[in-house]
Structure 1
Amino acid sequence: MKIVELGVQAYLPTWQAMKDFTNARATDTEDELWIVEHPGVFTQGIAGKPEHELNIESMPIVKTDRGGQITYHGPGQLVIYCLIDLKRLGIGVKKMVAIIESAIIELLDLYQIQAHLEEGAPGVYVNHAKIAALGLKVKHGKTYHGLSLNIDMDLALFSQINPCGYQGLKVTQMQDLADNKINFSKVAKQLTQLLIHHITRAQ
């Protein structure tokens, strides 16, 4: 599996690049994980409802084609896009979601952060506050979009929405839960390796 480090990239061209990659895939195209950090942007999923947009000020809302409701991406948040051929792996989208959630929980455990799942609410939580969100798009058995993990960012922007469509949902981040300074690049490397490990085991 190829790991692609994109650095800081605007959301719209990255989304287009994911679609182009997926549409151009052949049966033997190598799966890829894209590591990226986005400038501030709100993204609304295909089932997104406008009532979850509360008091958004001077920041774009992108209507995207992933699952889920509205969320925020910004500096200090790790985004990993999962360009995976599920059909070739022989797994379904529910299994892929479970793989992502398990990898995040295992990553957080490395930092002595105890994370958990919430029934009926995809993503990963710490003390019922959301620390990681996920949303996938599956086209012809292939995924794009992926996960976002809050590391060290401005959480105040989440107050302008109902995060992931849940009124009053609290959000948190690794830096507020750890004793030492969190290294963004180190976390990105650790999480991609855990994702690869879990995906390989699922085959």
Structure 2
Amino acid sequence: MAAALVDLGVTDYAAAYALQLGLVEKRRSGQALGDVFLVTEHPSTFTLGRRGGRENLMVAEEFLREKNIPLVHIERGGDITFHGRGQLVIYPILHLREAGLSVTDYVHCLEEVMIRLAATCGVEAARDARNHGVWAGNKKLGSVGIAIRHGIAFHGLALNVNLDLEPFSWVNPCGLAGVSMTTLSHECGREVTVNELTRELIGHLSRIFGREFFYKDHADVIVQ
């Protein structure tokens, strides 16, 4: 079955999260005909997953409030991470059993999406057997964090393209002390944009997930 690719543009984190939950429920109840992959960027936001602890936030919450950066608690796997403009975020609303994927296979697919997108920029990215996500050398380039309800996966991946990395210094990213983050722009020595990578997405997704993708207008997936 074909899947829809929806480019939301820049979306407030809370709005994108609510949309995911609504689409999961529609998929569960049979109101949605297929899987949907949401593509977006977020304004500056920290999210704290199920394994997250405040000990990995290295600044006071008052500091974040002064910066007008929300800290959102969510049910995805993983610890604390940062989202901001210049980061490509993909949220697949995907029925794993119908897709024939185990959780491990699915995480592998998300990592493969980032590895192939990096390769289009001439950057060699790789997995780390100890930690989910993708790495350029010893620096983390992209993260994976998922949640599953009724067999339907949501949340997804975040690939650092050309965002400001300073906020990562305020946390232990993904709960990993001493980890350095990087971006595609830094690694390839030129300015890479999220729009540039989005144009490459549909081909990579089709090959990795073994299905056709089609573009769908974001207005068609707004959950009433």
Q: Tell me the TM-score range normalised by the shorter chain.
A: over 0.9
The one of 87, 95, 113 equivalent to 1:85 is 95
Is residue 34 of structure 2 the alignment partner of residue 30 of structure 1? yes
Q: Within 1, Cα distance between the matches of 2:162 and 2:55?
A: 28
Query: Which residue number in structure 1 is paired with residue 159 of structure 2?
Result: 149
Q: Secondary structure at the match of 1:124?
A: strand
Q: Within 1, Cα distance between the matches of 2:199 and 2:50?
A: 30
Q: Within 2, Cα distance between the matches of 1:4 and 1:28?
A: 14
Q: TM-score, normalised by structure 2?
A: 0.85
Report deviation, 1:160. Answer: 0.4
The one of 29, 40, 43 equivalent to 2:44 is 40
Q: Secondary structure at the match of 1:84?
A: strand
Gap runs ≥5 in structure 2: 212-224
Q: How big is each residue's C-alpha offset from its partner over 1:82-139, in whole Å with a ceiling of 9 and x where there is no partner?
A: 1111111121111000011112112211211111111220000001111100101111
The one of 5, 17, 20 equivalent to 2:19 is 17
Q: Within 2, Cα distance between the matches of 1:54 and 1:190?
A: 36
Q: Within 2, Cα distance between the matches of 1:125 and 1:67?
A: 19
Deviates more, 1:6-15 or 1:186-195: 186-195
Query: Which residue number in structure 2 is paired with residue 62 of structure 1?
Result: 72
Q: Within 1, Cα distance between the matches of 2:173 and 2:202?
A: 24
Query: Which residue number in structure 2 is paired with residue 176 of structure 1?
Result: 186
Q: How many matched pairs?
A: 201
Q: Secondary structure at the match of 2:78?
A: coil
> Conserved in 2, the CA contact under 8 Å of 1:104 and 1:191?
no
Report deviation, 1:192. Answer: 4.2
Query: Which residue number in structure 1 is paired with residue 131 of structure 2?
Result: 121
Q: TM-score, normalised by structure 1?
A: 0.94
Q: Within 2, Cα distance between the matches of 1:87 and 1:173?
A: 33
Query: Which residue number in structure 2 is paired with residue 51 of structure 1?
Result: 55
Report deviation, 1:140. Answer: 1.2
Q: Secondary structure at the match of 1:12?
A: helix
Give the aligned residue type for 2:20. M
Q: What is the percentage of aligned positions where both structures have the same residue?
A: 31
Gap runs ≥5 in structure 1: none
Report deviation, 1:28. Answer: 6.4
> Conserved in 1, the CA contact under 8 Å of 2:162 and 2:193?
no
> Conserved in 1, the CA contact under 8 Å of 2:88 and 2:160?
yes
Report deviation, 1:193. Answer: 3.0
